[in-house]
């Protein structure tokens, strides 16, 4: 029974991009002490500055990494969906978590101990390369956000956030529009773009009048992806 459980964990891991094609022996080592955990909306998986010994893989639901600032304003650093890995870096370095991870809806994660990662990466170059690529990619993304926040206007940043989300959680509808399949309030968009909910509200309302998207309560559907792309890339003037 424990065997069945454990082997099912390995199966789950093998389905993720990070651990696909990693030898079963390695997956055995990684899943020792692993367990599933279900979460409800608003629940915190990790808390900022907690010590990090575990990382996790998203099995279902959506999550976000939030940094709390001293002024009480929160900043959303990333959104995680099925197959994404959360807290890998800090589990490897044993640093405290750089932010809190909050469940955006009911979901489930597979929690894994960080310690076995090192020996497994030593034996399995494939995994080592993937881990490094993952972190490198996240660093690059974060640097891009620094550039955007430094030189771009709010409109552009909101457009970019919508595009990013459409790639992450976009669902193509029958009429060709793209629904962002997560509960996304105006406040959430504001935290993603470093602005206020009022400004987001006005911007989204204007775009809805132009027919570029449909906006509902905590819900957005993109109608004209190309126009939003244009705004994201538009020169400021």
Partner DNA sequence: CGGCACGTTGAAGGGCTTCAAGCTCTGTGG
Partner DNA sequence: CCACAGAGCTTGAAGCCCTTCAACGTGCCG
Cα-based angle 190, 195, 196 (whole degrees, multiple of 5):
70
φ and ψ of 54, to 5 deg:
-130, 150
Stretch that binds its own copies, among 12-20, 118-126, 181-189, 213-221 (CB under 8 A): 118-126
**What's the CA gap between 62 and 170, in Å, rounded?**
13
By CB under 8 A, the residues from 130 to 189 that bind its own copies are 132-133, 135-136, 138-140, 142-143, 145-147, 149-152
Stretch that binds its own copies, among 28-36, 106-114, 158-166, 229-237 (CB under 8 A): 229-237
Contact 236, 152 (CB under 8 A): yes
By CB under 8 A, the residues from 29 to 58 that bind its own copies are none
Shortest distance (Å) from residue 201 CB to DNA: 3
CB atoms within 10 A of CB 84: 20
User: Applying CB under 8 A, which of residues 5, 49, 95, 198 lies at the interface with its own copies?
Assistant: 95
Question: What binding mask, one character per residue, do residues 105-134 give for DNA by CB under 7 A, x or -?
Answer: ------------------------------
**Could you list the residues that contact DNA (CB under 7 A)?**
153-155, 185-187, 194-199, 201-202, 204-205, 215, 217-219, 236
């Amino acid at each position: 029974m424990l065997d069945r459980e454990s082997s099912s964990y390995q199966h789950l891991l093998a389905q993720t991009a990070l651990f696909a094609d990693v030898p079963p022996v390695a997956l055995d080592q990684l899943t020792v002490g692993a367990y599933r955990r279900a979460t409800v909306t608003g629940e915190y998986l990790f808390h900022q500055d907690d010590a990090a010994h575990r990382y996790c893989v998203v099995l279902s639901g959506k999550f976000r990494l939030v940094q709390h600032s001293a002024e009480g304003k929160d900043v959303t650093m990333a959104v995680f969906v099925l197959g994404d890995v959360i807290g890998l870096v800090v589990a490897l370095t044993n640093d405290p978590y750089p932010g809190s991870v909050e469940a955006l809806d009911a979901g489930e994660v597979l929690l894994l101990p960080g310690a076995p990662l090192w020996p497994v990466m030593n034996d399995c170059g494939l995994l080592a390369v993937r881990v490094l690529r993952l972190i490198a990619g996240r660093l690059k993304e974060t640097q891009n956000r620094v550039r955007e926040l430094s030189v771009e206007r709010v409109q552009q940043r909101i457009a970019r956030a919508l595009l990013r989300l459409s790639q992450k959680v976009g669902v193509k509808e029958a009429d060709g529009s793209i629904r962002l399949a997560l509960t996304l309030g105006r406040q959430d968009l504001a935290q993603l773009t470093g602005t206020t909910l009022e400004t987001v509200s006005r911007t989204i309302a204007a775009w809805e009048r132009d027919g570029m998207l449909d906006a509902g309560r905590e819900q957005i559907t993109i109608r004209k992806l190309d126009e939003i792309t244009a705004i994201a890339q538009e020169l400021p003037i």
